Amino acid sequence: MRDRQPFVTYFFLLACVAIFAVETVMGGSTSTAVLVRMGARFAPLVTFGQWWRLFTAMFLHIGIVHLAVNMLTLWFIGRMTEEIFGHWRFAVIFIVSGIVGNYAGLLFASRNVVAAGASTALFGLLGAFLMIGDNFRHNPAISAMTKQFLLLIGINLLFDITQSGIDIAGHIGGLIGGFLIAGVLGAPQIGRIAPVKRVIMGVVLVVAPVLLYFLDGGVGL
């Protein structure tokens, strides 16, 4: 019998909390110097070659409220996503979405912003649910669930627009990345996705960031 405990969700949650504790010990989670030292996304350093920041930034948080909101979201949506997609698919969706979201933020946000947080990955989980809704829309239960998630996404994006200091490009990038990588991986517990469609989504996921990189002039290089 498959292990139904969402241990990957618990791992990501504990990792974020533990890293936040380290931030606090090192001088505070709102300290720009601490954030940069620990791997936050900072465009000048990323384009200088520190691309690993697109990964590490998703585990850092700026202030206790930022951490609490993201961890509460991860607690609820993460467990549901892991149950639907399985452990390893969920882990891949979370990580790829976070990286894609941070890449989008790198391209479209201010180069002087120090960005951090799991929200790029969390928006990717929402994108994964949109993928399910798109491919299995004839299932009444899935259709109803998708409408709820569309409302949640709309509320979050509206909040992004009306607030300053929010990485809306990162959130939208994570949402799109989650949709695409979830389509590539599929959701065998729910049903079958046409192989051609999965390949197309995989090609878009790989080719689009490369094209954007060159259109942006090498991300400012």
Active-site annotation holder among 66, 119, 143, 164:
119
Which amino acid, one-letter code, is at 53?
R
C-beta of residue 177 within 8 angstroms of C-beta of residue 99: yes
Shortest CA distance to 43 belongs to which of 107, 89, 98? 107
Residues 6+ away with beta carbon under 8 Å from 28: 34
By CB neighbour count within 10 A (0-12 exposed, 13-18 middle, 19+ buried), where does 74 fall? Answer: buried
Alpha-carbon gap, residue 185 to 96, rounded angstroms: 12
CA distance 13 to 180: 24
Residue 171 among the catalytic residues: yes
Task: Give the Cα separation of 178 and 110 in Å (integer).
Answer: 23
Residue 208 tokens, joined: 């689009």
The answer to whether the beta carbons of residues 118 and 98 sit under 8 Å apart is yes
Q: Is 97 a catalytic residue?
A: no
Alpha helix (H) residue ranges in the chain:
7-26, 32-38, 43-47, 53-56, 64-73, 79-85, 87-108, 119-135, 140-162, 168-185, 195-215
- Active site (catalytic) residues: 119, 171
